Structure 1
Amino acid sequence: MLDILSITGPIYLSILLGLLATRNGIFTKNELQVLGKFVLKVALPALVFSSLAGRPITEIFNTTYLAAYLIASLISLIIGYYSSRYVLKENRLAATFNAMGVSCSNSGFIGFPILLLIVPDVAGVALALNVIVENLVMIPLLLIMAERSCSAGHAMLGKTLIGLTKNPLMIALITGTCVSVMEIPLPQAITRTVELFSRASGALSLFIIGGTLVGLSVRGMNHQIFPVALGKLLLHPITILATIWVLLKFGFPPLETDLHRAIIIMAAIPMMGTYTILAQAYGQERTASAIMLFTTMLSFFTLSGLLMVI
């Protein structure tokens, strides 16, 4: 148990530090946005690029990982949506954002720092594979569902798709893959510079997550947030395990041990950091914020339990 706490402890202490620093005025929400921008546009892209450029292409695009993560995320989305509609009796728009909360992980700000502590050799590759699934399939699909549910925020999908072409993470993904495929040798000055920036992402990401939790509240919303939190922290990883089992029966190659642990952890973390931002465009930010706060708090216990068994 102490071994598990030695892993999860630094993660949640970093989140707590960000929360306390922001609550006590050391950092403002606006300053956190600047730090977040640095992580999203510089540190994480540098990490993705260095992880991909230094590996053979066969090692990067793991078909079992991609297929398992995509299929399991889609299944979680479907379960999250229809259980919200017909069990919780939510409207279509609320059900869509519940489904987003259940199926989209915070791969960059929470998942990657955790993997750095547990399976550092595959942390960058797992992040890159998650970026592919989440940015090319899950987020566009969920925004299409949101568009069909209401007329508000009608430009959000178009902006998101256009933004993908300018997204530093996607650019890093493409350029890193090209370097890997063409086996281009990079000068040490470049690789060391990229690695220097990539190391800044872990602690900063967790600190920022803590700061964003300041001011959020879960009062009076238990019936809405509890099912989504359990769906994200339990349903998503269980669906991953079931999907991998089925894929192996269909002849897909097994995941190596570290990647197998990585994909389960990536599914068992809270929802993506942009969850509340996307929800705000459709008037769902209050519920989304409460869900994110509760899920982050609950994940300390669920992740600690998970790490004891994998």
Structure 2
Amino acid sequence: MVLVCASSTLPLTNSVPFTSHISTTPFGSSFLFNNRYTSNVSVFVCHAKKKITFVDRILDYIEGGPKLRKWYGAPGLFEKDDTSTSDDGGEDYPEDEVRDAVLVTDGDSEMGQMVILSLIVNKSRVKALVKDKRVALEAFGNYVESMVGDTSDNRFLKKALRGVSTIICPNEGFISSVGSLQGVKHVILLSQLSVYSGKIGIQSMMKSNAKKLAEKDESVLRSSGIPHTIIRTGELQDTPGGKQGFNFDKGCAGSGSISKEDAAFVCVKALEFVPQTGFIFEVANGENKVSDWKECLAALMEKSS
């Protein structure tokens, strides 16, 4: 038997497919092949494992890699299990508590996951409302404080909002279904209302419920008195982000489209600009390259006023 360790550029012929999930040596995966010149000779090709960093995993996702990444050995940022409200006892949190977290609603939805990953890259403290905490832990490790509960329960909602400065809603339905958001300083709503309003025929019927939820969310948010940013995007597309610029012209959301990754990126960039009252703008992919998002959003607000 001959053991051959080679680089990935070594030409190999008549080999069976590489099986990456089977590791028979300490160096990584291997495979066995035979041909007419190497009868009864087992050849193992070994590749030294390259350590994949957390940042590499995030960047790989954003550039089109697998949607959920699992990593281990993350720092124990959130040791306490926050899925239970049994020990709350109606506790009143001090008004001067530090509020530096961003709460993502629908954290296990596709858009929610993309917003969370953008927030992690942004080095934000992230909390997320999810349906399955174990899945969220496998996906994001302890970089996200995941919470499971009924948001119509005031005790759970109060606990979920502890330490939260900003809420990002990547899907419709949350704002119109909860009670008081006391203490929250900024709400960012990703709205598809312009897209739903542009649907006709059977597509309009299919999106009628989503449209009603989006309309109600926007209405409740506008009357809430909480500083808010409503981002009306073009139709969301499963295309890689960061490849195109942006379009902020009036009507672009109804006629244009935007990468889901870019939409999540815009939500996170909206953290940089907190309006005094309310702010609504449209965005789709286009030719405009933005270098300073705070300045861009300020200009859009001035233009819309």
The answer to which structure has the higher strand fraction is 2
Q: 1 or 2 for the larger relative contact order (CA 8 Å, sep ≥6)?
A: 1
Query: TM > 0.5 between the two?
Result: no
Structure 1 length as normaliser, TM-score?
0.25
Q: Which has the larger radius of gyration?
A: 2
TM-score (norm 2): 0.25
More helix by share: 1
